[in-house]
Amino acid sequence: MKIIREFKEFAIKGNVMDLAVAVIIGGAFGKIITSFVSDMLMPAIGIILGGRNFNSLKVILKRAADGTATLSLNYGSFIQAVVDFLLIAVVIFLMIKLLNSFKKPTIKPEPQQTNEEKLLTEIRDLLKK
């Protein structure tokens, strides 16, 4: 798909202006996207997956004992952070794509013919007559 290819090019080759706009838009939309993911999207996905709360998904590595805290891998929070990142990246990409559509296309000058090409064109035209 063209849009996926363009997104890969943006993510890998982005120029300084694209990066600056991405940082500004990412900062502005970051809290909105985080709220959307944590308050609306993940609960809906949790209901679909059997009423799971993603924030509570974790693997306990070491239980609390004698005043020490429980040590756990909170992979549910990580999944939520990944979804946050992906949504922010898509929004930034679409905004850059929209901004680029407003730019004037650069007009490339027609390549000049060499003397040999001009001569060959004249010969072709004479042969046609």
Sort residue 51 into left (φ over 0), alpha (ψ -120 to 50) or beta: left
Look up the pTM and report it. Answer: 0.53
The per-residue pLDDT for 13 is 66
The CA distances from residue 107 to 14, 104, 111, in Å, are: 22, 9, 12
For residue 115, the one-letter residue type is N
Q: What is the pLDDT of residues 56-86, one digit of tens each?
A: 888 888 887 887 788 888 888 888 888 888 8
Domains parsed from the chain with CATH numbers: 2-128 (1.10.1200)
Quote the mean pLDDT of the chain. Answer: 81
Task: Report the 10 Å Cβ neighbour count for 36.
Answer: 15
The per-residue pLDDT for 6 is 81
- Tally the residues of the chain: 129
User: 26 vs 98, which has greater pLDDT?
Assistant: 98
Q: What is the pLDDT of residues 24-55, one digit of tens each?
A: 877 877 788 888 888 888 888 888 878 777 77
